[in-house]
């Protein structure tokens, strides 16, 4: 089967960005029903076991669904195939629209081109803050992780002196710009870190479709907690609950 062969090829690709791009192209050209059958089994193994290969494939999938190589028509076909199988969690991965998660006034204020680095300091231009985001100085990095502007976030994420704890703090900031959180969620290095993904899922500023995709990579205990948390958006809670139910069903029937 071509889909099985595609999964085997993915195993040999270690670079995350390339793996995601290859998967997007394979999804776009393959048989939707065959792909959904294989993905359902991989998802069940990723959530319920320590299968590293399955987990890597699911992590790649959560990014491949947003890759330009996966056309709207291909996403629609995969969505419909998942719905035919009654696999709601997989179907949601192919949706790319979200309700607003930030007020217009908050967005306008945080997108301001000038912002002080310290409360009593002089306002710095966007260009100055982007330049500082390349610094090796920990005192500046500690201050810059609080900068909400997505352009500053993008530069800072590429700073070799940034730590995972820094990025978790960036992902957990409230209120946060959805665009800035999306930049973190798409970063090839940091989006692979489980604590970062979890912080993004729990941040109410993260666009719903992004939070849904990232939640798909959470562990069973985290999914159960998410499903039971009344402070989280209902669609996200339903996704977590249905994901647990679907993998239990696939597991009891032997998977794909």
Domain hosting residue 62, numbered range: 2-98
Q: What is the pLDDT of residue 32?
A: 95
Instruction: Find out whether the peptide bond into 72 is cis, omega within 30 degrees of 0.
Output: no
Q: What is the pLDDT of residue 97?
A: 77
Q: Is residue 68 part of a domain?
A: yes
Q: Which of the residues in the chain have pLDDT under 70?
A: 1-2, 102-103, 247-256
Same-domain pairing of 123 and 186: yes
Distance of CA 87 to the CA centre of its chain: 20
Same-domain pairing of 192 and 108: yes
Same-domain pairing of 49 and 141: no
Q: How many domains does the chain have?
A: 2
What are the two backbone dihedrals, phi and then psi, of residue 124, each rounded to the nearest 5 degrees? -100, 145
Same-domain pairing of 93 and 108: no
Torsion 245-1-213-51 (CA) sign? positive
Contact 217, 58 (CB under 8 A): yes
Q: What is the pLDDT of residue 249?
A: 63
Q: Is residue 139 part of a domain?
A: yes
Q: What is the pLDDT of residue 28?
A: 93
Same-domain pairing of 84 and 162: no
Q: What is the pLDDT of residue 180?
A: 96
Q: What is the pLDDT of residue 248?
A: 64
Q: What is the pLDDT of residue 254?
A: 45
> Rounded to whole angstroms, how far apart are CA atoms 240 and 51?
20
Q: What is the pLDDT of residue 171?
A: 97
Same-domain pairing of 81 and 39: yes
Q: What is the pLDDT of residue 250?
A: 55
């Amino acid at each position: 089967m071509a889909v099985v062969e595609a999964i085997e090829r993915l195993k040999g690709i270690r670079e995350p960005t390339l793996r995601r791009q290859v998967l997007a192209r394979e999804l776009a050209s393959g048989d939707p029903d065959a792909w959904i059958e294989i993905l359902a089994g991989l998802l069940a193994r990723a959530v319920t076991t320590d299968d590293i290969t399955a987990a890597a494939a699911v992590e790649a999938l959560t990014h491949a669904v947003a890759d330009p190589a996966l056309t709207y028509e291909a996403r629609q076909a995969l969505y419909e195939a998942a719905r035919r199988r009654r696999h709601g969690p997989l179907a949601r991965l192919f949706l790319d629209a979200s309700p607003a998660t930030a007020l217009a006034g908050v967005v306008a204020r945080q997108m301001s081109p000038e912002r002080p680095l310290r409360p009593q300091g002089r306002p710095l231009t966007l260009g100055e803050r982007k330049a500082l985001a390349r610094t090796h100085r920990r005192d500046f990095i500690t201050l810059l992780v609080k900068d909400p502007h997505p352009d500053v976030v993008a530069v800072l994420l590429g700073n070799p002196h940034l730590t995972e704890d820094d990025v978790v703090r960036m992902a957990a900031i409230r209120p946060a710009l959805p665009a800035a959180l999306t930049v973190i969620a798409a970063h090839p290095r940091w989006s692979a870190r489980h604590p970062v993904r979890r912080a993004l899922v729990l941040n109410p500023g993260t666009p719903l479709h992004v939070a849904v995709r990232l939640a798909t990579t959470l562990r069973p205990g985290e999914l159960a907690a998410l499903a039971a948390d009344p402070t989280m958006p209902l669609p996200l809670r339903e996704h977590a609950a249905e994901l647990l139910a679907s993998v239990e069903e696939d597991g009891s029937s032997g998977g794909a």
